[in-house]
Amino acid sequence: MAAVDDLLKANERYLAGFPGPRPKNPSLKLTIITCMDSRLDLFGALGLNIGEAHLIRNAGGIPTDDVLRSLAISQRALGTEEVVLIHHTDCGMEGFDDTAFRAQLESETGRAPTWDVRGFDDVRDDVRRSVEIVRGCPWVPNRDKVRGFVFDVASARVEAVD
Amino acid sequence: MAAVDDLLKANERYLAGFPGPRPKNPSLKLTIITCMDSRLDLFGALGLNIGEAHLIRNAGGIPTDDVLRSLAISQRALGTEEVVLIHHTDCGMEGFDDTAFRAQLESETGRAPTWDVRGFDDVRDDVRRSVEIVRGCPWVPNRDKVRGFVFDVASARVEAVD
């Protein structure tokens, strides 16, 4: 049986406590950009309620072109104004060997990937770099409230990176 | 005061109940691809626990190049094997006018965006299209368990799209 079948049963139990329809525009006017990592439950870790903030997630929590696309839509079409970037400790992308990974993919499939792998060396440095990428994106209109953080996967503590 | 300041206070309250360190590889060997929408709490809606599944999220829950990058890393470097795609009702990308949005960005900034906007016309059709994109991606090794769903933002019910 696939894992999703159990999740669908859990969904049945969730329905009774769901608060019902909320507006499309996030009420905190906030977008959070973070990693896909399975240890980051952002609703829990930040006390978010349904309808409050957009969550954009990819491998590393890196502001790739697709993240900037999503953020531009979040701000211009759905009214958000503030951005929070969260990387985390023990990330699969920290120290990742981009060159070897690309070579492996090309060797196995006969085609080099059309995207950059985007590993990084130091989580705090990469948070700072990510904040600068968002602040420098011309298509994102609201760039004065962009802050960076690291989530500790052992303690769940979120710490600012200045 | 920025919204994030309140969230950091909520984070303090979250620490005591956090289960502590979990392995980097998701225990359900599952990756979920979904929209950034603020009404989708995947941990809640699917009964997920810390450490069980990767969550990749963007505007629309669309398998863009960056999502396929994240999924390739999820499977090849972090051991996942199953993929769940979830779009939702009342999505900002349903019926989105890509052409007008691109024109607005170019007009305001003097530069056309480097990415496609990726609006869609029908949520179920786009789930089917998204499933096919994942199934056709050569760099994603495990493509036999890929299923598509729609989350109803009024009821929180997750329904399969066949």
pLDDT of residue A22 exceeding 80, the answer is yes
Q: How far is B24 from chain A (nearest CA, A)?
A: 7
Given pLDDT bands bounded at 50, 70 and 90, which one contains residue A57? very high
Tell which residue, B140, B145, B146, B143, has the closest CA to residue B76.
Answer: B140
ipTM over 0.85: yes
Residue B148 — pLDDT band, cuts 50, 70, 90?
A: very high
User: Would you state the pLDDT for residue B121?
Assistant: 97
Q: Measure the CA–CA gap between A38 and A60, rounded to whole angstroms.
A: 12
* Cβ neighbour number for residue A103 with a 10 Å cutoff: 12
In angstroms, the separation between the Cα of residue A81 and the nearest Cα of chain B is 10
Model confidence band, residue A30 (pLDDT cutoffs 50, 70, 90): very high
B-chain CB neighbours of A72 within 8 Å are 105, 113
* Model confidence, pTM: 0.98
Question: A 52-91 residues with CB below 8 A of B?
Answer: 52-59, 64-70, 72-74, 76-78, 82, 84, 90
Q: Is A10 on the interface with B (CB under 8 A)?
A: yes
Cα(A14)–Cα(A9) distance, integer angstroms? 9
Residue A159's φ and ψ, nearest 5 degrees, are: -120, 140
- How large is the average pLDDT for residues A94-107? 97
In the structure, what pLDDT confidence band is assigned to residue A42 with cuts at 50, 70 and 90?
very high
Comparing CB atoms, the residue among A28, A47, A116 nearest residue B13 is: A47
pLDDT at B1 over 80: no
Report residue A30: phi and psi, to 5°: -125, 140
Contacts of B64 in chain A (CB under 8 A): 66, 69
Looking at residues A82-88, what average pLDDT do you find? 98
How far is the C-alpha of A123 from the C-alpha of B150, rounded, in Å? 35
Q: Is B18 in contact with A155 (Cβ distance < 8 A)?
A: yes
Alpha carbon distance B70, A158 (integer Å)? 23
Reference A76, options A133, A132, A29; nearest CA is A29
Asked if residue B80 lies in contact with residue B26, where contact means CB atoms within 8 angstroms, the answer is yes
- Reported residue count of chain A is 162
Q: Count how many Cα atoms sit within 13 Å of the Cα of residue A148 in the half-sphere of its side chain.
A: 20
